[in-house]
Structure formats: C-alpha cells, structure tokens
Amino acid sequence: MKPYDELAIVPYQIAQTVCGEPYTGQDLSPARRDARQVAKVEAARQQMTAEQVATFASFADERCRVAYERGADWMLKCARSRSNRGRDQLYVYIRHWLAGYLIEDGRDFVDELLAIGFKPSKFTHGQFHEGYQLAKGAKVFTFTKPAEVHYIRQLCEAAAC
C-alpha cells in the first residue's frame, strides 16, 4: 500500500476548498435534507475564520490518514479510484464532516461517552456513522440519538461497566 503522503488526493486541500464553498446540503439525500439545518450550517460556515478553516482541514486530514492506515474501505476506495470519482466522493464525506463540525450535532455526546471509558467498536473501524457503536469491555452499545446518553449511563451503572 502506498504511503498516505504519496496519495494523489489531498484531504487537507479538499477540506480547505469545502470550507470556501457555499453549503447546500449536497452531502445529504434530498429526503434527509432540512432547509433549516442547511441554512444553519451555511451561516456558521460563512463565519469561519482562517484559523478555524485550518483546524478543520487538519481534523479532516488526520481522520483520512487514520482511516487509510487502518484500511477503512471508504478511504481505500477514494484513494484507489482511477477516475475523479474517488476525489468527488471524498468531497462528499468532507462536506458532511464540515456540517457536523459546525453544528456539533452529537459531537459533545460522543466526546462525553469517550471520556467515561467507551471506545469505538471494532465493527465500525473507529468511525461513527448512521448510529454510534461504542464498546466498553465486552459490551457493545448501539444508539442513534444524543439523547440516549442518559439511557447508556443507566445501563452502565446497572451493569457496573
């Protein structure tokens, strides 16, 4: 496998580009696109400083680096694509991450769970998607909404995990 730094796609540059483009929710299917959320993300994107753009670009680059080094299928498909399709798909991923980064949809929730000892399960290859799968010991908890943290805490207290 080619070293990450020798890849033809440059996630850091893609992230900087995405931060400079208007957000229209194109990373979401039309059925899941909410005009209020799109407007909220776009307003936040317009207020990003150069420092915030650099921070997000570093975050996206590191996330791609880790995914590539761990052999995550989605990143390998982007990196190995012989056409622009891989690059274009990485744009979609990074736009989606930018939306989450700007509105912090559930991010504090995940950080809170990680702080009390949860770890991403092996099933998710370290990624949080479509729902969260986090493991603590041999137990794996799957949940989809930040409001479920209270329920997870109760489970942990009851199971002494």
- Nearest Cα residue to 2 out of 83, 76, 87: 76
Convert the pLDDT of each residue in 76-108 to its tens digit.
999 999 999 999 999 999 999 898 888 764 455
Cα Rg, the chain, nearest whole Å: 17
Our count of domains for the chain comes to: 2
Q: Do 100 and 113 reside in the same domain of the chain?
A: no
Q: Is 132 exposed, middle or buried (0-12, 13-18, 19+ CB in 10 A)?
A: buried
User: For residue 69, what are the domain limits?
Assistant: 4-104
Q: Do 144 and 118 reside in the same domain of the chain?
A: yes
Concatenating the DSSP letter of every residue in the chain gives ---GGG-S--HHHHHHHHHHSPP-STTS-GGG--HHHHHHHHHHHHT--HHHHHHHHHHHHHHHHHHHHHT-HHHHHHHH-SSTHHHHHHHHHHHHHHHHHHHTTTHHHHHHHHHTT-EE-GGGTT---SSEEEEETTEEEEE--GGGHHHHHHHHHHHT-
Q: Do 43 and 96 reside in the same domain of the chain?
A: yes
Task: Compute mean pLDDT per 10 residues along the chain, 161 residues long, and list them.
Answer: 90 96 90 87 92 89 89 92 94 91 61 56 42 47 50 56 49
Q: What is this structure's pTM? A: 0.65
Q: Do 116 and 155 reside in the same domain of the chain?
A: yes
